Amino acid sequence: MKRVLVAAGAISLLSMALPGCAVAARRTALPFERRVAAEWEPAVGVLVTWPLALPRELITDFTRNTTLFVVVADAEREAAARKTFAEWSLDAARIRYVRRPTKEGLYGVRDWGAYAAFDEAGALTHRDPRYLDYALSGYETKNLTWWKALQPGLDWSSDDETPGAVAAAVGAPREELTFCFTGGNVEVDGMGAAFATEVLARENAQFGVSEEPLRAEAQRFLGIRNLTFLPDFERFPAAQHMDCVARLLDEERFLVKRVPADHPDYAQIEKLAAEISNAVGPWGRPYEVLRIDTPRYEGAAVAAYTNSLILNRHIYVPIFGIPGDEAALETWRRAMPGYVVKGYRFDGAFAWTYTDALHCRTKALWDPKMLHLRHRRLDRTVPPRTELPLRIEAWDYSKAGLDRNAVSVHWRLGGEQPFQVLSMKRDSSGGWAAVLSGAPEGSELQYWIEATDRAGHRATLPPTAPEGFFRAAVRERR
């Protein structure tokens, strides 16, 4: 066992595998598992529709930060889109078009878009749930109303077919599912857990898929082993979509909106927040619930700040031209250090609403060759002068293999610069491990983890490291 001592008052390191987990003689990678990519995982682009229901500034930023995939109905509309984007001086090389007959104004790509589902062979398939109409419900009545009944003539059939064209455009196989899993109403953690409001269960029941078969099908096709239904949160008939009330920030943290105390939905939203905080996450700890204030901007309508898109190292937030906008952006920044957080105003015929904003109208296209990391971060408080095991699991979807010399922990005590580097070693379970030891009482341990595969994919935890990093206060627990 080799112990490396550093400057007085700093931390000593054990460059070794976890206690009891000697490095295996036969070092094999972890087997792949069936799962759906979480929103914060690496994406190769973002999907929108034409005609646009998004502001020019947002589209411009998308083409600066990623590849823009635009669904167009025909050659005429593609030509119109190309002309507009040229007038906006956008980089044509960052824009791809997906040709598919669509109805005018049906722009909810979040809801009809397919899920990026990896299988046990490490291959990505676009798995496409049923999408025929919007089920509307209120938490008092529990009865379902269908949007088509309120607006006869609406036709979602072209939207339900569009994921096939999207899959073909990116060269991915597609599989059509028999159950509803409407995108805006499902939050996934990339590790087999998903959250939706109760309306999803009632929606499926209308098509003959009761709750237990729904759970079984979600596990079979999407790897969802833990599907949690949260209470509907709007009194009057609405879609009750999760992205309008609560968002997963990572596998252990939620951001939940907080409406004014005199709002008719206040008590029900607080009930939803409490149920999340009482649930247990994938690492055996209760979910941390952060709150974002959503003041009124018109009547009972509140600002839809949770309806934001997390895409690679950026967070795109709808704003409403009210005093609460800047506070909301700052809440996102505090919750997600290292991300570029920016707000986008949108007025006119397709203005943001409290039930339909930026997240509803966009959807990431995930990287099929991504490097996926998992790590149970240290508890918020750790004891001083104690060995602290760190471990990651890595899924290399490029199948090139990890660079054994590029799996490491970067650590420091609060206020010290820069981070120091400790290599992680393969353990007998197929993961990678190291131990930190010797942090003094009253300090704060800060760290982040990185890995690189032989195909050149680099991944970090948190995803925005080194600007973002994990923290643990070092003190005796009382």
Amino acid at 471: R
pLDDT band at 48 (very low <50, low <70, confident <90, very high): very high
Residues 6+ apart with CB under 8 A from 303: 294, 295, 296, 297, 318, 319, 320, 322, 324, 325, 328, 354
Residues 6+ apart with CB under 8 A from 312: 42, 43, 65, 66, 463
> Which tens digit of pLDDT belongs to each residue from 378-394?
999 999 999 999 999 99
> 197 exposed, middle or buried (CB, 10 Å; 0-12, 13-18, 19+)?
buried
Q: Across residues 357-373, what is the average pLDDT?
A: 98
Greater confidence, 7 or 235? 235
Pairing mode, if any, of strands 470-474 and 187-188? unpaired
**Domain locations along the chain:** 3-32+371-474, 117-162+172-357
Question: How many other β-carbons are positioned within 10 Å of the β-carbon of residue 5?
Answer: 10
Question: How many other β-carbons are positioned within 10 Å of the β-carbon of residue 86?
Answer: 10
Q: Across residues 113-127, what is the average pLDDT?
A: 97
Nearest to 183 by CA among 124, 136, 113: 113
Share of the chain above pLDDT 90, in %: 83
Give CA angle at 60 (59, 66), nearest 5°.
80
Q: Residue 429: pLDDT above 50?
A: yes
What integer pLDDT is reported at residue 104 of this predicted model? 55
Q: What is the CATH number of domain 3-32+371-474?
A: 2.60.40.10
Classified as helix, coil or strand, 444 is strand
Q: Which two tokens stand for residue 186?
A: 């499902």
State the Cα–Cα distance between residues 361 and 106, nearest whole angstrom: 9
Residues 6+ apart with CB under 8 A from 446: 411, 412, 413, 414, 419, 469, 470, 471
Classified as helix, coil or strand, 161 is helix
pLDDT band at 300 (very low <50, low <70, confident <90, very high): confident
Which residue is it, tokens 């190769």? 44
> 28 exposed, middle or buried (CB, 10 Å; 0-12, 13-18, 19+)?
exposed
State the Cα–Cα distance between residues 299 and 327, nearest whole angstrom: 20
Exposure string of 444-476, with b = 16+ CB inside 10 Å and e = fewer, is bbbbbbbbbbeeebebbbbbbbbebbbebebee
Q: Across residues 150-167, what is the average pLDDT?
A: 86
Q: What is the CATH number of domain 117-162+172-357?
A: 3.75.10.10
Share of the chain above pLDDT 70, in %: 93
Q: How far is CA 404 from CA 8, 345, 375, 421, 447, in A?
A: 30, 46, 18, 14, 20
What integer pLDDT is reported at residue 2 of this predicted model? 30
Q: Cα-flanking dihedrals φ and ψ of residue 72, to 5°? A: -125, 150
Q: How far is CA 101 from CA 54, 74, 383, in A?
A: 20, 6, 61
> Which tens digit of pLDDT belongs to each residue from 261-275?
999 999 999 999 999
State the Cα–Cα distance between residues 226 and 215, nearest whole angstrom: 8
Q: Which two tokens stand for residue 132?
A: 């025929």
Residues 6+ apart with CB under 8 A from 375: 390, 391, 392, 393, 449, 461
Q: Residue 347: pLDDT above 70?
A: yes
115, 121, 123, 125: CA torsion to nearest 10: -40
Nearest to 66 by CA among 97, 40, 91: 91
What integer pLDDT is reported at residue 435 of this predicted model? 97
What are the DSSP calls for 17-59, one per residue? PPTT-PPPSS--PPPP--EE--TTS-EEEEEEESS--S-HHHH
What are the DSSP calls for 351-410, one per residue? --BTTB-TGGG-EEEE-TT-EEEEE-PPPSEE-TT--EEEEEEEEETT-S-EEEEEEEEE
CB of 195 within 8 A of CB of 251? Answer: no
Q: Do the two domains 3-32+371-474 and 117-162+172-357 of this chain adopt the same fold?
A: no
What integer pLDDT is reported at residue 386 of this predicted model? 93
Q: Across residues 291-301, what is the average pLDDT?
A: 94
CB of 249 within 8 A of CB of 334? Answer: no
pLDDT band at 26 (very low <50, low <70, confident <90, very high): very low
Q: Which residues make beta-bridge pairs with 389?
A: 435
State the Cα–Cα distance between residues 310 and 65, nearest whole angstrom: 12
State the Cα–Cα distance between residues 467 and 340, nearest whole angstrom: 11
CA atoms in the 13 A half-sphere facing the CB of 18: 15
